[in-house]
Amino acid sequence: MSEMTTEILEQNLGKVVLVRLKGGKSLRGRLKGFDQHLNLVLDETEDTTNVENVKKLGLIIVRGDNVVLISPPPR
Amino acid sequence: MSEMTTEILEQNLGKVVLVRLKGGKSLRGRLKGFDQHLNLVLDETEDTTNVENVKKLGLIIVRGDNVVLISPPPR
Amino acid sequence: MSEMTTEILEQNLGKVVLVRLKGGKSLRGRLKGFDQHLNLVLDETEDTTNVENVKKLGLIIVRGDNVVLISPPPR
Amino acid sequence: MSEMTTEILEQNLGKVVLVRLKGGKSLRGRLKGFDQHLNLVLDETEDTTNVENVKKLGLIIVRGDNVVLISPPPR
Amino acid sequence: MSEMTTEILEQNLGKVVLVRLKGGKSLRGRLKGFDQHLNLVLDETEDTTNVENVKKLGLIIVRGDNVVLISPPPR
Amino acid sequence: MSEMTTEILEQNLGKVVLVRLKGGKSLRGRLKGFDQHLNLVLDETEDTTNVENVKKLGLIIVRGDNVVLISPPPR
Amino acid sequence: MSEMTTEILEQNLGKVVLVRLKGGKSLRGRLKGFDQHLNLVLDETEDTTNVENVKKLGLIIVRGDNVVLISPPPR
């Protein structure tokens, strides 16, 4: 992982990020942890794949190989 | 795996977790063990993919590369 | 593989286990051997994917990367 | 690969085995060689995917990552 | 990664690149960082998959294994 | 790769082989080179996927991870 | 990568090659660089997937794991 990726993720610890997964699932959750495989720990997570039916997932661990992209909140 | 992931999984040993697998399958089971690939041992497992037809699986080993996300119970 | 996974598989050597594969195939067979990739040797195996048309496969080697989950018999 | 897998494959060198591949293809051929990735050399191979239209393939090399399961002949 | 790939990406740091992902998604964003796995950091990113419905994503991290191709702007 | 695989491929250098790829594509070409990942160099290659519309591809490099099976000509 | 693959690619630096990608996309571009994973740098690239709607892509980096085959121009 580039230093910039690490830096961005560290700066966003405790903030709400959007995560797009393979297969089309979208998550929104508070970033609590990560590692170099982009395994993520998110809290207060919502499954926002279907915006008309958002589901609460709470605390989750995401296996990094499912991640397509991670989007921190606008600064 | 980040220390936080390990920590969360260790804190939830013996508790019921939700596991989402690639391909859309959902499981609910008591976390008995795990390793750094997210291979999991679950007990009293139910396949909850179809909520109207929950199937009992009992004790299972899940190969980690199938895991999308793991959700511990609300605290 | 966690020690618990190894232990569970060792305890079930000689017993009938259920194996779910990627792509939806289900097998039931007597566990004869395994390794750390979850490559399996099963005997008296039946393909139980279609419960109305169970097929006898006998002795088989399963390549571990196809395995989703392994379920030992109820204790 | 477990010693048992190696042993089973070695015992079946020169014998006809069934091989199921990812994507649903089925092969029947005489096992001539193998390695630890389950790359296989089969001779007198037939593609038995469609039992009403078996195709002769003769000598083939199968790349191991396509293999789902290998079934030796009944003893 | 070849030296040429690194060189091209370095020359385009700060410039807008097009990124095509597996599954058909297209992104356009300002290249802020990259590593040898083609993990990317893009800023001012837009999802241009549907040209009639471009979505603003802002700052994102793209996991490299999703990348099909990267296209720098015309020189 | 087993010694037998290497031996078969070496014996068929300069001969026409059939190659089946993931996704169903079939190629026929003269084997010019190979390596341990089954990356192949084929010459005078034809795409024989659609037998009613064979396409000439000439000299090609095939990335090994796409290969399902390789079939040398009958002896 | 076999020496022959390297040799062929080196001989075709600066020449127009055809590249077939997983998922069916076809590219035609001038080969500017490559590495042992078949990551490619192509210039003056065209997406020729739909021959009735060729799209200009210009300079691109292709991630090697998407490559099915590379075809140099006829000699």
Q: Residues E31-59: pLDDT tens digits?
A: 999 998 999 999 999 999 999 999 999 99
CB atoms within 10 A of CB G52: 4
Instruction: Measure the CA–CA gap between E71 and G44, rounded to whole angstroms.
Output: 11
| Contact residues, chain A to chain E, C-beta under 8 Å | 1-5, 8-9, 22, 38, 64-65, 67-72, 74-75
What token pair was written down for D44? 């007198």
CA angle at residue C19 from D4 to E66, to 5 degrees?
Answer: 100
Partner residue facing B61 (CB), from C3, C70, C75 = C70
- pLDDT (average), residues B33-40: 94
What token pair was written down for C40? 């399996």
Per-residue pLDDT reduced to its tens digit, C9-60: 999 999 999 999 999 999 999 999 999 899 999 999 999 999 999 999 999 9
| pLDDT on residue A75 | 59
| pLDDT on residue B39 | 95
DSSP A21-69: ETTS-EEEEEEEEE-TT--EEEEEEEE-SSTTS-EEEEEEEE-GGGEEE
Give the distance from residue C1's alpha carbon to the nearest chain B alpha carbon, in angstroms: 6
Count of structural domains, chain C: 1
- pLDDT (average), residues C65-72: 96
Residue F44 belongs to a domain with what CATH number? 2.30.30.100
Residues of chain A with pLDDT under 70: 75
Cβ atoms of D31 and D12 within 8 Å: the answer is yes
Q: What are φ and ψ of residue A62, in 5° steps?
A: -105, 125
Domain presence at residue F46: yes
The answer to whether the Cβ–Cβ distance between E57 and A69 falls below 8 Å is yes
Range of the domain at B21: 3-71
Query: Tokens 């893009």 map to which residue?
Result: E42
The pLDDT-based confidence of G27 (bands split at 50, 70, 90) is very high
Partner residue facing D2 (CB), from C23, C34, C60 = C34
- Say if D and C touch: at least 3 Cβ pairs within 8 Å: yes
The answer to whether the Cβ–Cβ distance between E8 and G59 falls below 8 Å is yes
Count of CB pairs separated by less than 8 Å, A with B: 53
The SS3 assignment for B7 reads: helix
- Does B7 have pLDDT greater than 70? yes
H/E segment holding residue E10: helix E3-11
Which amino acid is it at E18?
A: L
> At a CB cut-off of 8 Å and minimum separation 6, what does C69 contact?
B57, B60, B61, B62, B63, B66, C19, C20
| Contact residues, chain B to chain C, C-beta under 8 Å | 21, 23, 25, 32-35, 37, 39, 41, 45, 57-63, 65-66
Instruction: Measure the CA–CA gap between C26 and C22, rounded to whole angstroms.
Output: 9
What token pair was written down for D18? 């069934």
- Residues of chain D found within 8 Å of residue F70, distances taken between Cβ atoms: 60-61
Neighbouring chains to A with at least 3 Cβ pairs closer than 8 Å: B, E
The answer to whether the Cβ–Cβ distance between C2 and B63 falls below 8 Å is no
Q: Chain F residue closest to D47 (CA)?
A: F69
pTM of this prediction? 0.92
- Does E16 have pLDDT greater than 90? yes
- Say if G and E touch: at least 3 Cβ pairs within 8 Å: yes
- Does B75 have pLDDT greater than 70? no
H/E segment holding residue D59: strand D55-62
